[in-house]
Amino acid sequence: MRTVAILIARLIFAGAFAMAAVFKFAGMADTAAYIEAAGFPFPLLLAWFAAIFETGLVLAFLTGAFFSEAALLAGAYVIFLAFAFHGPSLWQGNQAEFGFFVDHFTFLAGLLFAAVHGPGEKLAVRLGILWKETAAAR
């Protein structure tokens, strides 16, 4: 059951970032407009970077390669998104923004847990830099 739960969690992480990347690639101009409305420079370039970054996260979550590193980077990205697009300055105008903001922290919790525990033993490439296992630890 542990293996099944880990694989489902990896698929959920990959699915969330895959949907985000697909929406960006499908509507790059809309994504750039959203980024520009938040006050960031070079919105089209940032939109492309975000879509490519999210695609890399999908690959890491699906394969298990650099899994812990990807989970930590994804966590930092998710918290950046929370503050940049759903931060306290937006709560007055739309109370739903507070909910969106808080949801990013629950996602962060899952990503941190995943980063520490790794991709599991099955269907994982297990390449990475962080928390390398030694042969004796296995």
What is the per-residue pLDDT for 129? 79
Q: Mapping DSSP to helix (H, G, I), strand (E, B) and coil, where does residue 131 land?
A: coil
Q: Give residue 82's pLDDT band: very low, low, confident or very high (50, 70, 90).
A: very high
| Structural domain containing residue 27 | 2-137
* Number of independent structural domains in the chain: 1
pTM of this prediction? 0.87
- Cβ-contact 27, 44 below 8 angstroms: no
**Per-residue pLDDT reduced to its tens digit, 120-132:** 887 777 777 776 6
Mean pLDDT of 97-117: 93
The span from the first CA to the last CA of the chain, in angstroms, equals 19
Residue 24: C-alpha distances to residues 30, 135, 138 (Å): 8, 41, 40
